[in-house]
Structure 1
Amino acid sequence: MLPFAYCLERKDRPKLTFALFLELFVLSFLGIGLTLNMYYASLRYTSPTFIASMINTIASLTFVIAVLLKLEVLDYRNPHGLAKVWGTVISLAGVMTMTLYQGPILRNLWSPLIHIQGKSPIHENWLKGSILTVASCITWSLWYIMQVFNSYSEV
């Protein structure tokens, strides 16, 4: 895509100023560096089930932060606004149910195909892992919102 973008949009793209470079740096640091490093670090401290359920809150958190920052207009009388609110509530309720519900332990009927020798490198520290996971989801949501801010500033 780089050759097409370079050839077709070379007159439309803005000059690389220090402010634009700083925006790109912050977006890269927040979106890729910080978010994914906290996500992978939280895998060492909590279960993959918890992390998989918490990652589903990113869309809901993005919506809530956008409402708080007045980027999203919330109209309760409009069916679309009501659907957004109910979708957010149902999504967060599903995540809470998946996180807090402890059902029966499932056992394998067959032996595993791969046997890993040695101790597992997982260190259970649920508080640290939960904080890292929630912080990762919040920074990921902020990354999406910052992209919207940057697209508005270019117009």
Structure 2
Amino acid sequence: MCDWDLINKVWAKVEEDLAGNGQTVLLRLFEEHPETKAHFPKFKGIPLGQLTSNADVKTHGNTVFKALGDVVKQKGKHASNLQALATTHINKHKIPPQNFTLITNVILKVFAEKFPGEMTAPAQEAFSKAFKAICSELEDLYKKGGFQS
């Protein structure tokens, strides 16, 4: 069981700059896992150093974090959110399911750095459990959706 109340308490801090925090996570994802950039047509041909000032990265970071916030706020009752997310990422974006694990690992690191007061050991554990559950559910949806990478 995840401590959704604790997660949402931290998430309130994240929402103070949703787009900026999403941008930071995407940039770190591209830095730590350069292969993931290939799944973003707007970004794949742009060197990482130039992406830091790219408005589209911030816009997409906002989109990613808005979707994640919608999941977090459901406090575990997020099946319809994940179904919609899986459907678009399988059929439209063709994003491999393991990329969700990559980005959630990056999120944990970035949050620990940016919000050390909020990302206590219990908060880190709560996010870790929630992200593992979400990624597992997404992998199941991908299998049901017949995803071919």
TM-score with structure 1 length normalisation?
A: 0.28
Q: Of the two, which has the highest radius of gyration?
A: 1
More relative contact order, 1 or 2 (CA 8 Å, 6+ apart): 1
